[in-house]
Chain A
Amino acid sequence: MQHDKAPLSGAIAAWIVACLMFFPILWMTVTAFKTEGEAVAIPPIILFRPVLQSFAAATAQSGYLLFAANSVIVSFASTALAILIAFPAAYAMAFQPGKRTKDLLVWMLSTKMLPPVGVLVPVYLIFRDAGLLDTRAGLVIVDTLMNLPIVVWMLFSFFRDIPRDILEAARMDGVGPRGQMTHLLLPLASPGIASAALLAIILSWNESFWSINLTAAHAGTLAAYIARYSAPEGLFWAKLSAASVLAVAPILLFGSLAQRRLVRGLTVGAVK
């Protein structure tokens, strides 16, 4: 067996695309270590003495830790809640499908195609009346609902890979739906559940529309924290970059640590 050698031109094209895509992140990181003056200099300064003053300013001024804590709490809590709801739903859809199960799945996914801004006003009013504005609980609810379709879909496809015979054997053994879920599906689908959770955490962490619109100083996440840097007085590029790096770094680190698992989860069942 010999692997086909990719043509050199293809490799070069791939590198160019990769560099283009990575460039903004690289530039943001570089800018974060500049002074404000260096950051806005034209032509851009390539060689400079890195300083940490922007990071110091970003964390000192705006309570970075509170926003970071909110991000962690909201993304983990909403993910846990979404898995909790999606698990039995996916079980029912995968193993006791009805006539409309397929339609239901497609309908659920179609809600993801709706622009969130379309429901901003009603959601805002409901949150205002329910006292959920600028609360972590409110954001957890929104993020849960936002991620639920994807989590249900993912768990559904993982469950579909589990042989039906095993659950039928369990039925013969006198194991009800709850026992099947806790004793069989949970251990057997744990890699799938882990990657669904991972994806939900990342999506929730990166979610900015709802956190910017529904939260302020108290329950704001890191997305809202970055948004605060675009003030009417103008932009402070170095501080904004430093704040962005601080917001992106944890999830990047988390994602890369879990990358192997995520990739395996996303492709499981694709090849059998």
Chain B
Amino acid sequence: MAALELRQVGKWYGGFEAVKSVDLAIADREFMVFVGPSGCGKTTLLRMIAGLEDITSGDFLIDGARANAVPPDKRGLAMVFQSYALYPHMTVAQNMGFALKMAGRPRAEIEAKVREAARILRLEAELGRKPRMLSGGQRQRVAIGRAIVRNPKGFLFDEPLSNLDAALRVQMRTELVKLHRSLDATMIYVTHDQIEAMTMADRIVVLNQGEVAQVGTPLDLYHRPANLFVAGFIGSPKMNFFPARVAGVANGSLSLALDGGATVALAAQGAPPAAGAALTLGVRPEHFVLAAEGPLAGSVDVVEHLGAETILYVKESRGAIIVVRTDDLAHVRPGEAVHLVPRLDRVSLFDAEGRAIADSSAT
């Protein structure tokens, strides 16, 4: 199988630096997800790994061997495209067997491999059909089947589910995870959807403007975001951010003056920031407690009842919206005044540059 490594990999398009010196090690059989907003360089990074795009600077290694100049089909990696990129004039079986046919493999072997892939993907009945006669989900599976028959060391997925409807997307998500387990192959999966990233990944790479913002397990990113970008990108609804100032540091306690005038005290860990320093306090929607008194106050603007949970949009006196997720507040009505107490053991703190202040949150 394949362990992949990127060392200082960069990509320039003319004068534009699309990928900035990325260092990344992808372990053998890992399910790695690249996630980020559009234009963050995640697809470019994937295409460089695939060999479809030249690497401008740095080294790309497959199992320890430098592979920058290895042509795409010799890298042992198979790619599934966002548009599926099926050959429209070929049947499903021909689509899946094309790579083997071009490699001059015997017909019996091609047939056997295509049938095996079709069995895994439940496409046996569709083998004789052309792509245009298939549903979106079936086309998706054919594209995956085309990758499987090559028996690659690694699979590269470029936003493969983005053309499917919501229900099918959820279903394919679990199927891909199962597939990863049964094929035992390294997989790299590019998406802009943080829910896909959270649900499927062993580890997630969050990219922002061509740079790696953070690499970690889904829960790592969720609970210990390295910076404001990751904190805001991972999690839905988004983390709430409150501008604050250090009012004082005493006896291992850090007191913060929030912009609204309230003060909260945290247990200071690591090196405490200097008094007067500007900080950002990050609180996830589920880390609020509604109480009669609290440092944050506002009136309920919108209530979304999702059944298992309720999302409140609380309007602060100065107009900012605080999003609160709770599971037992079906009685709250719009317009009601509420007080919010952040669970201070679960909050995140970021310095003026947006970097997380170490150990500011406990998990």
Contact = CB atoms under 8 A, between A and B. Distances in A.
Interface in B70-112: 71-74, 77-79, 81-89, 98-99, 102-103
B146 interface: yes
A168 B52 CA distance: 7
B85 A169 contact: yes
B150 interface: yes
A16 interface: no
A172 B83 contact: no
Contact of A172 (B72, B84, B88, B103): B72
Interface in A157-175: 163, 165-166, 168-175
B102 A174 contact: yes
Interface in B238-255: none
A175 B102 contact: yes
Contact of B73 (A166, A172, A188): A172
A187 B94 CA distance: 14
B50 A172 contact: yes
> Size band of the B side of the interface?
20 to 34
A168 B84 CA distance: 11
By secondary structure, the B interface counts as loop
By secondary structure, the A interface counts as helix
Contacts of B77: 172
Contacts of B51: 171-172
B103 A169 contact: no
Given A172-B52, A174-B73, A174-B99, A165 B85 contact: yes
Contacts of B74: 174
Given A174-B99, A174-B103, A179-B102, A169 B89 contact: no
Contacts of A172: 50-52, 72-73, 77-79, 99
A188 B83 contact: no
A188 B90 CA distance: 10
Interface string B126-157: 00000000000000000000100010000000
B43 to A, nearest CB: 12
A184 interface: yes
Contacts of B52: 168, 171-172
A258 to B, nearest CB: 22
20 contacts: A163-B85, A165-B82, A166-B86, A166-B88, A168-B79, A168-B81, A169-B85, A170-B87, A170-B98, A171-B52, A171-B72, A172-B52, A172-B72, A172-B77, A172-B79, A173-B73, A174-B73, A175-B102, A184-B87, A188-B88
3 A-B pairs with least C-beta separation: A174-B73, A165-B85, A173-B99
Interface of B: 50-52, 71-74, 77-79, 81-89, 98-99, 102-103, 146, 150
